[in-house]
């Protein structure tokens, strides 16, 4: 039985487990699951850039940081309610992405990768140096308020759990629609062959930039949730290693959204499960990753093919409309 054939049972099982998890697990594991949800959110947004468009971007933590700091500043200095800052955190990250990506978007593969690594470092060091006297240097910003939703104050772990995973659910739906559209196809054409894509009439620069801006917008919103959850943020939470983990989650996933979720669980959950091995745990984790890349170099779950309804009535066979793909129900 191939992993691809198990998509539907895996998705259904995962959804049920996620719904009932807060009933059975303790505060510690709930916290781990909130963290997994945040990484899933970040990885889903990076998947648009890296998985769909094939742009090697290893600086996603920078956009995450811009979002988190936007929320922190607006909340602590100007007393905006936390959730109200979410769209603005997204917009700030998106604008930042547009400004830094525009001059480098034409770079290819490994060159772009190096520049994006530079972006994370620039952001981290800028935050450390207390940009405009707003970011609080190495201490960061503390005292961020808890979010309220329709007068309901979100402060407990379980409430954050549902907030984060609801956002993951909505993102899954929206990104799936995006994938099954002109926009998603354009990103795939660019990934396959950008010169051919441009030659067919796809505005390659514009779509690459759009992928960046959209991914950054989502990372910025994830930053709001992170700031609200932690109530304290500091530059060291947005270092290069965070970028690498988000990047690795997407690479391991194979590019499908279900793959991203499973991969986020493995990446964040596994090191926690291995805690009893103390010092050896990162070693075991490293070996598991290596085995994975040997066993499945294409990643856990590559995306399915898109489905199209094609009317064949005008062809000689005169068959009624049928599905293009014989794959099992699309769960991704």
Nearest in space to 275 (alpha carbons), one of 51, 4, 21, 32: 32
What is the DSSP code (8-state) at residue 139?
A: G
**Minimum distance from CB of 94 to other proteins (Å)?**
12
Among 18, 65, 72, 186, binds other proteins (CB under 8 A): 186
Please tell me the distance from the alpha carbon of residue 60 to that of residue 120, in angstroms, as a whole number: 8
Cβ proximity of 4 and 301 under 8 Å:
yes
Among 6, 98, 107, 178, binds other proteins (CB under 8 A): 178
The smaller minimum CB distance to other proteins, of residues 134 and 209, is found at 209
**Minimum distance from CB of 209 to other proteins (Å)?**
11
Cβ proximity of 197 and 60 under 8 Å:
no
What is the DSSP code (8-state) at residue 200?
A: T
Cβ proximity of 185 and 197 under 8 Å:
no
What is the DSSP code (8-state) at residue 216?
A: H
Query: What mask, x for binding other proteins by CB under 8 A, covers residues 23 to 62?
Result: ----------------------------------------
Phi-psi region of 255 (alpha: psi -120 to 50; beta: other; left: phi over 0): left
Please tell me the distance from the alpha carbon of residue 21 to that of residue 26, in angstroms, as a whole number: 9
**Minimum distance from CB of 6 to other proteins (Å)?**
23
Please tell me the distance from the alpha carbon of residue 213 to that of residue 95, in angstroms, as a whole number: 7
The smaller minimum CB distance to other proteins, of residues 29 and 183, is found at 183
The smaller minimum CB distance to other proteins, of residues 211 and 251, is found at 211
What is the DSSP code (8-state) at residue 105?
A: T
Residue 154 near other proteins by CB under 8 A: no
Among 31, 121, 198, 272, binds other proteins (CB under 8 A): 198
Count of residues binding other proteins (CB under 8 A)? 38
Among 19, 27, 177, 291, binds other proteins (CB under 8 A): 177
Please tell me the distance from the alpha carbon of residue 241 to that of residue 184, in angstroms, as a whole number: 29
**Minimum distance from CB of 290 to other proteins (Å)?**
26
The smaller minimum CB distance to other proteins, of residues 236 and 312, is found at 312
The smaller minimum CB distance to other proteins, of residues 150 and 308, is found at 308
Q: Which of residues 269-328 bind other proteins (CB under 8 A)?
A: 305-306, 308-312, 314-315, 324-325
Tokens of 20: 């009932």
- Among the listed ranges 132-140, 149-157, 171-179, 259-267, the one in contact with other proteins (CB under 8 A) is 171-179
Outline where the chain has alpha helix (H): 7-24, 27-46, 60-78, 85-101, 109-128, 157-179, 182-192, 194-199, 204-230, 240-253, 257-264, 270-273, 281-295
Q: Which of residues 210-249 bind other proteins (CB under 8 A)?
A: 210, 214
Collapse the DSSP code of 309 into the 3-class scheme (helix H, G, I; strand E, B; otherwise coil) and give the result.
Answer: strand
The smaller minimum CB distance to other proteins, of residues 125 and 311, is found at 311
Among 13, 169, 199, 286, binds other proteins (CB under 8 A): 199
Please tell me the distance from the alpha carbon of residue 257 to that of residue 261, in angstroms, as a whole number: 6
Tokens of 7: 């998509």
- Among the listed ranges 134-142, 177-185, 241-249, 255-263, the one in contact with other proteins (CB under 8 A) is 177-185
The residues of the shown chain that bind other proteins, judged by CB under 8 A, are: 174-175, 177-178, 180-186, 188-189, 192-193, 195-204, 210, 214, 305-306, 308-312, 314-315, 324-325
């Amino acid at each position: 039985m191939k992993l691809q054939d198990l998509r539907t049972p895996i998705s259904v099982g995962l959804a049920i487990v996620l719904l009932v998890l807060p009933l059975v697990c303790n505060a510690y594991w709930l916290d781990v699951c909130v963290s997994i949800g945040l990484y899933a959110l970040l990885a889903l947004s990076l998947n648009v850039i890296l998985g769909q468009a094939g742009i090697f971007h290893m600086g996603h933590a920078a956009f995450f940081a811009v979002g988190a700091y936007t929320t922190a500043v607006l909340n602590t200095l100007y007393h905006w309610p936390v959730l109200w800052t979410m769209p603005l955190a997204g917009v700030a990250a998106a604008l930042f992405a547009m400004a830094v990506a525009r001059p480098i978007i034409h770079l290819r593969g490994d060159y772009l990768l190096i520049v994006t690594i530079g972006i994370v470092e620039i952001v981290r060091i800028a935050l450390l140096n207390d940009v405009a006297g707003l970011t609080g240097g190495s201490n960061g910003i503390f005292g961020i308020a808890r979010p309220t939703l329709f007068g309901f104050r979100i402060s407990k772990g379980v409430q954050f759990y549902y907030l984060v995973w609801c956002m993951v659910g909505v993102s899954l739906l929206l990104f799936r629609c995006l994938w099954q559209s002109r926009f998603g196809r354009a990103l795939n054409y660019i990934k396959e062959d950008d010169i051919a894509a441009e030659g067919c009439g796809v505005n390659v620069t514009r779509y690459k930039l759009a992928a960046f801006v959209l991914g950054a917008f989502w990372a910025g919103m994830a930053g709001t949730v992170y700031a609200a959850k932690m109530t304290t943020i500091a530059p060291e939470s947005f270092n290069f290693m965070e970028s690498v983990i988000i990047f690795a989650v997407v690479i391991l996933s194979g590019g499908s959204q279900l793959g991203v979720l499973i991969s986020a669980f493995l990446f964040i959950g596994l090191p926690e499960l291995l805690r009893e091995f103390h010092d050896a745990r990162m070693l075991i984790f490293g070996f598991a990753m290596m085995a994975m890349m040997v066993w499945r170099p294409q990643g856990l779950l590559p995306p399915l093919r898109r489905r199209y309804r094609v009317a064949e009535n005008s062809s000689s066979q005169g068959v009624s409309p049928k599905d293009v793909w014989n794959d099992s129900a699309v769960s991704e």
